Amino acid sequence: MERRLIPSPRTLDDIDIKRRDLIGQGWGKLERFTFRHRRFDNQWSEEVTRDLYTIGEVSMVIPYDPTLDAVLLVEQFRTCGLYWGEATWLFEAVAGIIDPGETPPEVAMREAMEEAACAIALPVLIATVYSSPGGYGERTHMYAGRADLSAAGGIHGLAHEHEDIRAVAVPLDEALAATTDGRIRDAKTMLMIQWLAINKSKL
């Protein structure tokens, strides 16, 4: 057993991209990469082809009220369940795509206002993650931010973005319970709530 988890020293020099083709473009884009990569025995792999879908870079934030010990979540329809024949209205943290010239904290604060009419303090970074690294290129910056949730709630969203979003404030303990009983199914939101339960004193 290794005593510490130490990443292997790898750089872009350890990846040999042979082709990069755009094979689909809509709300996001689908690209096909053909490449070799350095193996753990230091030899080059055979050529591999993988498809990668991405909509870009995203910022997420979970507003937290230390006075109420409560968090704000948003509920909205997501298309992910259609593949599986499910109707997926999901509880999630506030999130939005980072546009050119914006920083992740700026987007976190902007989206909190757009999706929940919630003003948050300068957010604290939880982590930057790849949500599904096997075939999805989205990179997500996750934050927590202090907020006054005493009057939070209601229906929000931007009409021109076809948003229909219900904001709801609940005790942190209730949100944490929802990560274990199936009510919260977004993995990033689960991680953020669990982080907050451990680290809320940092806000």
Instruction: Note if 161 is an active site residue.
Output: yes
Query: Please, which residues have CB within 8 angstroms of residue 85's CB and are 6 or more apart in sequence?
Result: none
User: Based on the number of CB atoms within 10 Å of its own CB, is 89 exposed (0-12), middle (13-18) or buried (19 or more)?
Assistant: exposed
Which candidate, 154, 84, 148, 81, places its Cα nearest to that of 114? 154
Ramachandran angles phi, psi of 107, nearest 5°: -65, -40
Query: Which among 114, 115, 138, 161 is annotated as catalytic?
Result: 161
Place of tokens 């992740």: 104
Contact 147, 118 (CB under 8 A): yes
Cα angle, residue 36 at apex, residues 56 and 138 outer, rounded to 5°: 15
Catalytic positions: 161
